[in-house]
Amino acid sequence: MRRSLALISAVCLLAVAGCTTGSADSDGPAETVEELTEQGLTGLALLHRGFEGGDPEVDQVLVFHDPETGQPVHRIALPEGAVDPMAPDLPVHSQFSEDWQYFVYAATEPSAIHIATLTDPEDATAPEGEETEEGESPAAISYQPVDAISASPEEVLSQPVVHGERLWFVSDNTQDGQPPQVMSVPLDAPGGTPNQEGTLALGENQRPSDWALTPDGSLHIRNSVPTTQLNGAAGESLVVRQTDGSVVNATLNVGGTQWQSFGGGLVWGEGTAVLGPDPALPDQAQAGAYLVAVDGQTHTATRLLEDSDGPVLQYAPAPERDAVLLQTEQNWFRVDLEEGEVTETTELFPRFHDASMDGYPLVVRWAQEAPEDADASPSDEASEGS
């Protein structure tokens, strides 16, 4: 492992100081959504709960960090309380549209799914309790709620997911005794009659199944997908659940240690998955992670960051899946890949801190500029059930 990149000020990294809603280049910060979109929202996007030491429920901010130095480049405030301030393993990567124009979130009192969009400062509403001078508007671009799907009586709406041009969510009528339903509506017209996409089969203790969308938009309902066991020549065994070629859930047993897919992690696609130590077996926890790839009845398992400071806690693959950013308890790393094999590993910068229970921001996405000659946009991101 090499440490090839110079670290910037630790104070700036830990506090995310000096970050703006615009570019860090000589053009200066963007003042409108149009300017921000033209500059491009790229980098390692992390959702901070308790930004700069603030309240984890009130001060929720999407921050784009330079993926080589960790330097904050853009920051965009979210609606207050949009994300659970303390829950771990939240699939926040699925709550933003690919072009970053939309952010969706669930509310509980009353139950509803809210749709927020990037909003110019003059069109934004100041957060509750924050005063501005008369005629003044909030000074920065932010996500502001513009529409909502309201629950009917006895209905609970949850788990919003954006994929392409549609908004997916779970509808559960708490009085009819039936399993929850996965529904979808057009993202730009959520008030219409939703499509019923699937039923979340009930499992142990009548708990509804976890679910996910694969990169191509196929619905994966964990309890409805059979497992496949693949045994390796070295004695390791891999158990997977797949939908349309995407490994969504996986458990690897190797050398007496169990590794499994990350709860709430992004679905890699193409038969590949990143596995971390089983959180239910902390005594077995080892450093790093595994990258597994399934091809028919065979598989490969590649160890990542075996010599790092601890287990991988979260990850963000490059859109082309030729590299992945990995966070441990102490640092962020980059692993370059070629046909599933590690070609280079680089320690990048210290991990960031926020005021959530875990103490670090949630990974959303590693966003890169699309190649100029690209005929299609990168794969849509998808959510992974635990």
Cα separations in angstroms, 232 against 298, 312, 341, 349, 378: 8, 23, 17, 35, 32
Q: Which residues have CB under 8 Å from 109's CB, separation 6+?
A: none
- Mean pLDDT of the residues in the chain: 88
CB proximity list for 217: less than 8 A, separation 6 or greater: 163, 164, 380, 382
State the Cα–Cα distance between residues 224 and 125, nearest whole angstrom: 44
Tokens of 37: 């979109």
**Any bridge partners for residue 338, and if so which?**
341
Through-space distance between the first and last CA atoms of the chain, rounded to whole angstroms: 30
- For residue 44, tell me if it sits in a domain: yes
In a domain, 64, yes or no: yes
* Cis amide bond preceding 194, omega within 30: no
Q: Where does the pLDDT of residue 281 fall: very low under 50, low under 70, confident under 90, or very high at 90 and above? A: confident
Percent of the chain with pLDDT over 90: 74
pLDDT at 12: 39
Q: Is the pLDDT of residue 26 over 90?
A: no
| Cα dihedral across residues 251, 44, 105, 213: positive or negative | negative
Residue 90 in domain: yes
Q: Can you spell out the DSSP letters for 107-142?
A: EETTEEEEEEEEE-GGG--PPTT----TT---SS-E
Residue 204, classed as helix, strand or coil, is: helix
* 303 within a domain of the structure (yes/no): yes
Residue 76 has what pLDDT?
97
Answer yes or no: is 115 within a domain.
Answer: yes
**Cβ partners under 8 Å of residue 76, min gap 6:** 21, 61, 62, 63, 118, 140, 141, 142, 143
- Tens of pLDDT, residue by residue over 297-329, are 999 999 999 999 899 999 999 999 999 999 999
Please check whether residue 377 lies inside any domain of the structure. no
Q: How far is CA 309 from CA 44, 302, 333, in A?
A: 21, 18, 11
220-231 pLDDT, tens per residue? 999 999 999 999
pLDDT at residue 139, as a whole number: 75
pLDDT digits (tens, 9 = 90+) for 86-106: 999 999 999 999 999 999 999
- Contact (Cβ atoms closer than 8 angstroms) between residue 325 and residue 285: no
pLDDT tens by residue, 156-184: 999 999 999 999 999 999 888 899 999 99
Q: In what order do the strands lie in the sheet with 246-254?
A: 228-231, 237-243, 246-254, 257-261, 272-277, 289-295, 298-304
Arithmetic mean of pLDDT, 238-260:
96
Mention every residue, 6+ apart, whose C-beta is less than 8 A from residue 346.
1, 2, 3, 4, 5, 333, 334, 335, 336
Q: Which of 291, 225, 228, 280 is nearest to 258 (CA)?
A: 280
Residue 372 has pLDDT above 90, yes or no: no
Would you place residue 125 in the very low, low, confident or very high pLDDT band (cuts 50, 70, 90)? confident
Out of 217-226, 243-252, 298-307, 371-380, least confident range: 371-380
Assign 234 a pLDDT band (cuts: 50, 70, 90): confident
Within its chain, how far is the Cα of 16 from the centroid? 20
What pLDDT score does 17 carry?
Answer: 42
CA angle 112, 116, 121 (to 5 degrees): 140
Does 25 have pLDDT greater than 80? no
Q: Quick one: pLDDT at residue 130?
A: 54
The answer, yes or no, to whether residue 371 has pLDDT greater than 90, is no
Region of poorest pLDDT, from 119-128, 228-237, 265-274, 369-378: 369-378
pLDDT confidence of residue 11: 34
CB within 8 Å of 165: residues ≥ 6 apart:
186, 187, 188
pLDDT score, position 138: 58
Structural domain harbouring 158: 10-367
| Model pLDDT, residue 34 | 95
Q: How many separate domains does the chain show? A: 1
The predicted structure's pLDDT at residue 369: 84
pLDDT at 75 over 70: yes
DSSP string, 87-108: -SS--GGGGB-TTSSEEEEEEE
Q: Is the pTM of this model over 0.85?
A: yes
- List helix spans (H) across the chain: 10-15, 33-39
Give the closest residue to 369 by CA, choosing from 117, 67, 106, 160. 67
Domain membership flag for residue 251: yes
Q: Is the pLDDT of residue 32 over 70?
A: yes
pLDDT of res. 18: 44
Q: Could you tell me if residue 149 is inside a domain?
A: yes
DSSP 383: B
Does residue 170 contact residue 134 with C-beta atoms inside 8 Å?
Answer: no
**What are the φ and ψ backbone dihedral angles of 253, each rounded to 5 degrees?**
-110, 115
